[in-house]
Amino acid sequence: MYTLASGLSAMSSKKQVNRLGAEYMFLAFESFDVYGDIRYLIRLMNTAHEAISRFKDMHGKVQGLDETEGKDLVFYTEYTTFIADAMQRRVDEIDPEIVDEVIDYWQMHDCKKFGAKALDAAKAGSRLYLSREVKKIYIQNRDIKVDQFLDAYFGLPFKDKNKGKWK
């Protein structure tokens, strides 16, 4: 009976760690609705990656279950890195003065205009992880969603200011 109880306890603990990792990742994406500084958001995603990596380590220390349950935590760590890298690449492609101007714009405007697109990108990444048969389609969908988020972040300030044109 003790073995059964400890097995159920281990299962419950691993599921709680998995759930906590998922909540942490999506909470990080929901922060995009609040913070307009993309450099801060990149740091936030890197911090989320570190935290979820710790959840993954905790998951591995709980005895009694198959390790396949922790694969979703692996996905969360990979995806937070993927989105942070995509944001950093876009920042690196753009003149720093323009990046500063965009950040200033988002400090004064509703971040939900691009935040919803960031959450869509996270959901597209989750769907990619969950369905392996149509992986190529989901990869394209995820990449489109990430581009839409970044286009919204960098494009909307100039659409308002210059009718959709860069300086």
Could you list the pLDDT tens digit for every one of the 167 residues in the chain?
334 334 435 446 777 777 888 888 888 888 888 898 999 999 999 998 898 888 878 777 765 555 556 677 778 888 888 889 999 999 999 999 999 999 999 988 888 888 888 888 887 777 776 666 577 777 888 899 999 999 888 887 776 665 555 44
Global pTM? 0.70
Comparing CA positions, the residue from 38, 44, 46 lying closest to residue 106 is 38
